[in-house]
Amino acid sequence: MDKKAAIRRQVIDRMMCNKYAPFPSKEAVRQECADRLYGSRTGKRPSISTIEKDIKYMQDFYDAPLKWNAQEKGYHYTENGFSIGLTDDEYESIHMASRVLDQFKDTEIFEDFDTVVEKLLERVELSQYKFNKDNREYVQFETAPLVLGTEHLSPALSAIRNKQKISFEYKKFNSGEVKTHFLDPYLLKEYRNRWYLIGYKEDSDYIYTFGLDRLSNLIVLRDKFSISSRFNLYKFYQNNVGITTSKEDPIKVLLEVSLNQSEYLISQPLHMSQKEISRTNEHVVFELFVVATYELESLILGMGEDTRVLEPPLFVNRLKERISLLAKKYN
């Protein structure tokens, strides 16, 4: 394909999709093509007949609904949302997504991410429209701290895909004890900027969760495994908040929050089971059907005086104990 012709057609497509400057004329299209191809100061421009041929090509080859509007004295797409490639908004969305994943740029498994994005953009012939780096002045992403254990992502992912057993040494947070484990790896899960490995241990007949930051000497073994019938990827964390799993059954938790706090929970629910039960001029009560994990307790306590658990009594008592221990530290 003629590179200049491809660029002209991309320019035409972008102009047809630009809702802020609709119905561009042939002359406007020609000038924009000239700026893209030769720069605004050279004086070089494609001919009107060349632009007409490009429009005809787009109509025939891409079946583009590109028509002349006599009343507006310009061209437009008669079909909303049509484009022969990515729109500016879609292109920028790709780069926004790349910024979200930028926190992993130094990890082995994502080291080629920037290259992959550029290849994608080149394939759709939009690589000349570079993302405006000045956008960082208007959009600021959360910067994650350096995450330990990401060097294990690649071998762990390979073992999961190929259903190969692994072995590794694991250091517990509380005791500092280091122990060797043999695991059938099922899943990698990220939670609050930490990575976790979920898998089945034959020696204890249980599915465990291990933090990658506490792993060392991970070895992918030749032995194969089959996924246990008790593990269902979509149900394993269904009733959980956070990464902790438990043998306990889920419970119904009634959470009373201030009106101000309720707006936060409505916009970002604690769990997918959350639903509003009642509302007054001062409070809103939400119901959750969840396993009472440590993460759930911490999230509730983190909302401070704006939140109170009404039931079940056993869960209320657990929170009271933690609050009492915390209060003693400030006596």
pLDDT in tens, 204-229: 888 889 999 999 999 999 999 998 87
Instruction: Give the model's pLDDT for residue 115.
Output: 64
Residue 114: the pLDDT is 60
Alpha-carbon distance of 291 to 262, in angstroms, equals 21
For the whole prediction, is pTM greater than 0.85? Answer: no
Q: How far apart are the first and last CA of the chain?
A: 77
Give the pLDDT score at 241: 86
Q: Which residues contact 210 (CB under 8 A, 6 or more apart)?
A: 168, 170, 181, 183, 196, 197, 198, 199
Query: 3-state class of 131 per DSSP?
Result: coil
Q: What is the mean pLDDT of residues 270-293?
A: 93
Question: Edge-to-edge strand order for the sheet containing 283-290?
Answer: 275-279, 283-290, 251-258, 307-311
Q: What is the pLDDT of residue 66?
A: 93
Q: Which of 112-121, 181-190, 214-223 has the lowest mean pLDDT?
A: 112-121
Q: What is the pLDDT of residue 205?
A: 82
Q: Residue 82 pLDDT more than 90?
A: no
pLDDT at 53: 92
Taking residues 293-307, report their average pLDDT.
90
pLDDT given at position 150 = 82
Residue 98 has pLDDT above 50, yes or no: yes
Which pLDDT score is estimated for 197?
93
| Percent over 70 (pLDDT), the chain | 80
Mean pLDDT of 282-301: 92
What band does 190 get if pLDDT is binned at 50, 70 and 90?
confident
pLDDT of residue 129: 47
What's the token pair of residue 246? 């438990």
Q: What is the pLDDT of residue 120?
A: 58
In angstroms, the CA 87 to CA 69 distance is 22
Q: Are 219 and 168 in contact (CB under 8 A)?
A: yes
pLDDT band at 127 (very low <50, low <70, confident <90, very high): very low
pLDDT at residue 135 is higher than 60: no
On average, the pLDDT of the chain sits at 83
**CB-based contact 231:245 (threshold 8 Å):** no
Q: Report whether pLDDT(128) > 60.
A: no
CA distance 70 to 183: 70
Res 126: pLDDT: 47
pLDDT attached to residue 25: 92
In angstroms, the CA 123 to CA 222 distance is: 38
Nearest-angstrom CA–CA distance, 6 and 326: 66
Query: Model confidence at 86, in pLDDT bands (50, 70, 90)?
Result: low
Distance CA 27, CA 43 (A): 14
H-state helical runs in the chain: 3-17, 26-38, 48-61, 88-100, 113-123, 153-162, 259-267, 294-302, 313-328
